[in-house]
Amino acid sequence: MDLTGRVVVVTGGGAGIGAALCEGFFSHDAVVAVLDIDSSAAHRVAANTSGIGLAVDVTDESGLTQAIAAVEERCGAIDVFVSNAGVAFADSADGDVSGDDEHWRRSLDVNLMAHVYAARALLPAMIQRGEGYLVNIASAAGLLSQVGAAAYSASKHAAVGFAESMAISHRHEGIRVSVVCPQYVQTDLIRGLDPALIAAVPGEVLSPAEAADKIIAGICAEQFLILPHPEVGRYFQNKAQDYERWIAGMAKLRSRAADD
């Protein structure tokens, strides 16, 4: 996809990967709309990208639908919608993976249902036009797992599954879908995870700008699975080839991190 002149919306665009994506899309001469629950952050990034900023809670379907309508009224039809907003919570201190109900609800609402709400609002018009692009930011945890964060892992697996379903069901209607599964990126999101577990996992912690560059390259190439950390693909293959060994290895990783 050539992004020149395309109308691109990014949720969670006020900081982290979202803000870096907005800046990257702007550098590709796209028209950028920044959606964020933090109004001042949305407007700050919008000012830096000659775009528009709107405050929206992506877990509020009505509010998200209204924000999408406002973008279309001001900028025209949305070509690319990036569902980037996300949350992460660590398991309880005693290691209970069932965790806190509110953490589970919030994880599923932000990391999954916000993607569903966006697709529900956008797909009819995109299908009618015969083109559109939905980008769901998931996580390597959606292909593998984030040790010590069961709600996060489950919600990201669900996000990957939803993206797969959209790609399968709507490709013939001109809809393109990407799901992005990075490992660790230096954002506020990883502060909700156990630092010992992050340190125990091999691989580079990317800056938001580095991650955004890789994501935008994948979008331009219209890749379904975008891996800012290429090694995640290898880990995913290892998991599929020997699930039992992979579970045992992850359990050892958790034990090592707990001992640190």
Q: pLDDT, tens digit, for every residue of 48-96?
A: 999 999 999 999 999 999 999 999 999 999 999 999 999 999 888 767 7
Domain count, the chain: 1
Complete DSSP assignment for 34-103: EEESSHHHHHHHHHHTT-EEEE--TT-HHHHHHHHHHHHHHH-S-SEEEE------PPPTT--TT--HHH
Strand order of the β-sheet with 132-137 is: 52-55, 31-36, 7-11, 80-83, 132-137, 175-180, 225-226
Check pLDDT > 80 for residue 123: yes
Amino acid present at 154: A
Region label for 13, one of left (φ > 0), alpha (ψ between -120 and 50) or beta (otherwise): alpha
167: part of which helix (H) or strand (E)?
helix 150-170
Q: Please compute Rg for the chain using Cα positions.
A: 18
When pLDDT is cut at 50, 70 and 90, the band that residue 253 belongs to is: confident
**For the domain that residue 169 is a member of, what is the CATH number?**
3.40.50.720
Q: Residue 37: which residues within 8 A CB-CB, separation 6 or more?
A: 12, 14, 55, 56, 57, 58, 85
Structural domain contains residue 109: yes
- Cα gap 76→236, rounded to integer Å: 39
Structural domain contains residue 2: no
When pLDDT is cut at 50, 70 and 90, the band that residue 203 belongs to is: confident
Check pLDDT > 70 for residue 260: no
What are the C-alpha distances in Å from 243 to residues 62, 169, 221? 41, 28, 31
Check pLDDT > 80 for residue 199: no
Strand partners, 82: 10, 135
Check pLDDT > 90 for residue 256: no
**DSSP character at residue 196:** H
Structural domain contains residue 18: yes
The answer to whether the beta carbons of residues 174 and 195 sit under 8 Å apart is no
Structural domain contains residue 1: no
User: Cα-flanking dihedrals φ and ψ of residue 193, to 5°?
Assistant: -110, 165
Which amino acids are annotated catalytic? 152
Q: What average pLDDT does the chain have?
A: 93
The answer to whether the beta carbons of residues 130 and 173 sit under 8 Å apart is yes
The answer to whether the beta carbons of residues 157 and 142 sit under 8 Å apart is yes
Q: What pLDDT is recorded for position 259?
A: 66
Structural domain contains residue 127: yes
Q: What pLDDT is recorded for position 194?
A: 63
Structural domain contains residue 170: yes
pLDDT tens across 213-244, in order? 999 999 999 999 999 999 999 999 999 999 99
Residues spanned by the domain of 30: 7-259
Going by C-alpha positions, the residue among 44, 45, 122 that lies closest to residue 83 is 122
Amino acid present at 76: G
- Cα gap 8→30, rounded to integer Å: 7
Strand partners, 11: 35
Read off the pLDDT of each residue in 248-258 and give the average, rounded to a whole number: 83
Q: What pLDDT is recorded for position 12?
A: 98
- Out of 131-135, 159-163, 194-198, least confident range: 194-198
Q: What pLDDT is recorded for position 94?
A: 67
Q: What pLDDT is recorded for position 202?
A: 66
pTM of whole model > 0.85?
yes
Structural domain contains residue 21: yes
The distance in angstroms from the start CA to the end CA of the chain is 46
